[in-house]
Amino acid sequence: MTQERYDIALAELAEDIGLDAAALAKYQELIIDGVAIALSFESDELGGSMQGACYIGTDPVPVDASPALLRMLLQANTLGPPTLGATLGLQRSGRLVLSRREPLDTPPARLAHAWGELADVSVRWAVALDQGLENSVHELVHAGAR
């Protein structure tokens, strides 16, 4: 699939959720519950996908974060439920990023649901990090693993 198919998927998504298709195509960003989700076309071996990415919270991970916290963040990527299948990443700035890819042939309602889940997970992680880093993140990771 191509950039053209991505543009069609964006337009279908916009129609499904009641947004202006031209505006979504121009800005390629959704704001869901205060979370900005940047959308982009990603070429891959399956012909392309729509990627959604967002920050978790507003502050970077502390420079002196414990190895235990960093280990839990990595474990969250392999467990599935704590991120609902999205991937946690750490930028050079120390900001946590959550990203997810969906095939371009995903129905618009499913795309809307996927980006809603991404926003929800971002908010849950931001709350966990704000409430005391290790204890809250530990609970989030291990509650999702059950």
Mean pLDDT over 4-32 rounds to 97
Mean pLDDT over 85-107 rounds to 93
pLDDT computed for residue 141 by the predictor: 61
Please give the angle made by the CA atoms of 16, 35 and 122, to the nearest 5 degrees.
Answer: 105
Cα→Cα distances 99→1, 4, 53, 87, 96, Å: 20, 22, 4, 5, 10
Structural domain spans, the chain: 3-144
Residue 66 or 132, more confident = 66
Mean pLDDT over 49-67 rounds to 91
> Can you tell me the distance from the alpha carbon of 120 to that of 140, in angstroms, rounded to the nearest whole number?
13
Q: Which of 48-52, 62-66, 79-83 has the lowest mean pLDDT?
A: 79-83
Residue 33 burial by Cβ neighbours in a 10 Å radius (0-12, 13-18, 19+): exposed
> Can you tell me the distance from the alpha carbon of 110 to that of 60, in angstroms, rounded to the nearest whole number?
31
Q: How confident is the model at residue 81 (pLDDT cuts 50, 70, 90)?
A: confident
pLDDT computed for residue 146 by the predictor: 44
> What is the assigned CATH class of domain 3-144?
alpha beta
Q: Which of 71-85, 89-103, 105-119 has the lowest mean pLDDT?
A: 71-85
Q: For 34, how many CA atoms within 13 A lie in the half-sphere containing its CB?
A: 7
Residue 83 or 23, more confident = 23
**pLDDT, tens digit, 9 for 90 and up, residues 120-145:** 999 998 988 887 655 665 666 655 54
Number of Cβ atoms within 10 Å of the Cβ of 52: 24
Q: Do the beta carbons of residue 7 and residue 24 sit within 8 Å?
A: no
**pLDDT, tens digit, 9 for 90 and up, residues 23-51:** 999 999 999 999 999 999 999 887 789 99
